[in-house]
Copies of this chain bind each other. A is one copy, B any other.
Amino acid sequence: MRYMGLLHTYQSMLPINEATPMLTLHEGNTPLIHAEALSKELGINIYLKYEGLNPTGSFKDRGMVMAVAKAVEEGSRTIMCASTGNTSAAAAAYAARAGLNCIVLIPNNNIALGKLAQAMIYGAKVIAIEGNFDRALEIVREITAKHPITLVNSVNPYRIEGQKTAAFEVCDQLGDAPDMLAIPVGNAGNISAYWKGFKEYHEAGRSTKRPRMLGFEAEGAMAIVKGEPILEPETIATAIRIGNPASWKTAVEAAQQSEGQINYVTDEQILSAYQQLAAKEGVFAEPASAASLAGVIKLHQEGYFTGGESVVCVLTGNGLKDPNVAIKTAGIEPLVVPDTEEAVMEAIQRLEREEG
């Protein structure tokens, strides 16, 4: 009955051999929650794949456990990545677990220490360069090509292998693949990984169909939708603020092969979906995560659904990763009243009237 982690659960579908350590922090096995209120509202069956309950709070753990296990297998003592966000946290946690060193390279401009705190508490060594993010990634690639240090950015091919297990889980949890899968698109690695997973599970006879893939970029970073890189991408959904997606080609293939689409949503639509997830379903996700639901609501308004379809919305990260957006969005100062029963009851009734 004890869950043993992704590598153990999906061993036969992963590049695992006798020398691969069964590394785990019990990543995966994340909830697939039926969104009851939203399903009723939209007339379709919406499920939320809540990846924020992975060990470091994002879907990145799925790819990282595979990449770090292979690094151990290959005799590496150190892993390295360029990242200021979820990737560095996942890399640092699995390096700690595996007893490896972890080096995180970041640009020295606009360092948000809060975002790095998670990687640092796991013991990662953080080095800031006097250059931008692209230059940081370039240096990581140069160093890892020449030294016995393993690159764990998304160009590491094992990352996508681990990430594809999310598609397996969705099929296992639903009993089959859903009709459609909606997913935020930033670097486009995750939509590529899900599509790979759905295809492999279908080929292995473990699902009867494959879903339409519905990918959603943020309007201010919609490189694929526009058909050209965005030089200065801007969106409140920082986790998908990427102007030149690394997995551009495979994302377009996923949409085409599945008869789905790559579309976009505005920051306003993202924030509205973010609030609805929390207030209507009780699920607190990162702002970028809400792009999937925002896209489904947009398509619903355009008459895309015929009714009754099963649609899985991928929620990529935990809302606790970026509490400042919640503070600004909730934005309400508490109502201050005297400390009497009467004053408090009056306040409750006032709030109920405002609501109604």
Q: A182 CB to closest chain B CB, in angstroms?
A: 19
Chain B residues, Cβ within 8 Å of A246:
none
Give CA–CA (A101, B123) in the complex, Å.
42
> Are B339 and A131 in touch, CB under 8 angstroms?
yes
Chain B residues, Cβ within 8 Å of A105:
344
Selecting from A28-36, A155-163, A303-311, the interface stretch reads A28-36
Give CA–CA (A31, B97) in the complex, Å.
15
Contact surface of A with B, Cβ cutoff 8 Å: 1-3, 24-26, 29, 31-33, 37, 50, 53-57, 78, 92-97, 99, 101, 103, 105-106, 108, 111, 113-114, 116-118, 120-123, 125-131, 135-136, 139, 142-143, 147, 149, 172-175, 275, 278-284, 318-321, 323, 326-327, 329-330, 332, 334-341, 343-345, 347-348, 351-352, 355
Chain B residues, Cβ within 8 Å of A26:
31-33, 50, 53
Chain B residues, Cβ within 8 Å of A125:
335, 348, 351
> Are B120 and A326 in touch, CB under 8 angstroms?
yes
Chain B CB count within 10 A is highest, among A33, A120, A121, A142, for: A121
Give CA–CA (A106, B333) in the complex, Å.
12
> Are B338 and A126 in touch, CB under 8 angstroms?
no
> Are B31 and A284 in touch, CB under 8 angstroms?
no
Q: Quick one: closest B residue to A104, CB to CB?
A: B334
> Are B334 and A116 in touch, CB under 8 angstroms?
yes
Chain B residues, Cβ within 8 Å of A173:
1-3
> Are A122 and B33 in touch, CB under 8 angstroms?
no
Chain B residues, Cβ within 8 Å of A122:
278-279, 282, 284
Q: Quick one: closest B residue to A68, CB to CB?
A: B282
Chain B residues, Cβ within 8 Å of A338:
129-130
From B147, B326, B339, B347, give the contact of A121 (CB < 8 A).
B326
Give CA–CA (A351, B347) in the complex, Å.
57
> Are A118 and B25 in touch, CB under 8 angstroms?
no
Q: A293 CB to closest chain B CB, in angstroms?
A: 15
Chain B residues, Cβ within 8 Å of A355:
101
> Are A118 and B50 in touch, CB under 8 angstroms?
no
Give CA–CA (A149, B321) in the complex, Å.
33
Chain B residues, Cβ within 8 Å of A172:
1-2
> Are A139 and B344 in touch, CB under 8 angstroms?
yes
Q: Given contacts A31-B3, A139-B344, is CB(A120)–CB(B339) below 8 Å?
A: no
From B25, B117, B351, give the contact of A282 (CB < 8 A).
B25
Q: A124 CB to closest chain B CB, in angstroms?
A: 9
A-B contact pairs, 6 of them (CB 8 A): A26-B31, A103-B348, A122-B282, A128-B336, A139-B340, A318-B320
6 A-B pairs besides A26-B33, A117-B326, A126-B334 with CB distance below 8 A are A25-B31, A56-B284, A57-B318, A111-B334, A114-B327, A143-B344
Q: Given contacts A128-B335, A335-B127, is CB(A29)–CB(B32) below 8 Å?
A: no
Give CA–CA (A32, B319) in the complex, Å.
23
> Are B341 and A96 in touch, CB under 8 angstroms?
no
> Are B127 and A344 in touch, CB under 8 angstroms?
yes
Q: A338 CB to closest chain B CB, in angstroms?
A: 5
> Are B341 and A118 in touch, CB under 8 angstroms?
no
Q: Given contacts A129-B337, A338-B129, is CB(A282)–CB(B96) below 8 Å?
A: yes
> Are A139 and B341 in touch, CB under 8 angstroms?
yes
Q: Quick one: closest B residue to A318, CB to CB?
A: B320
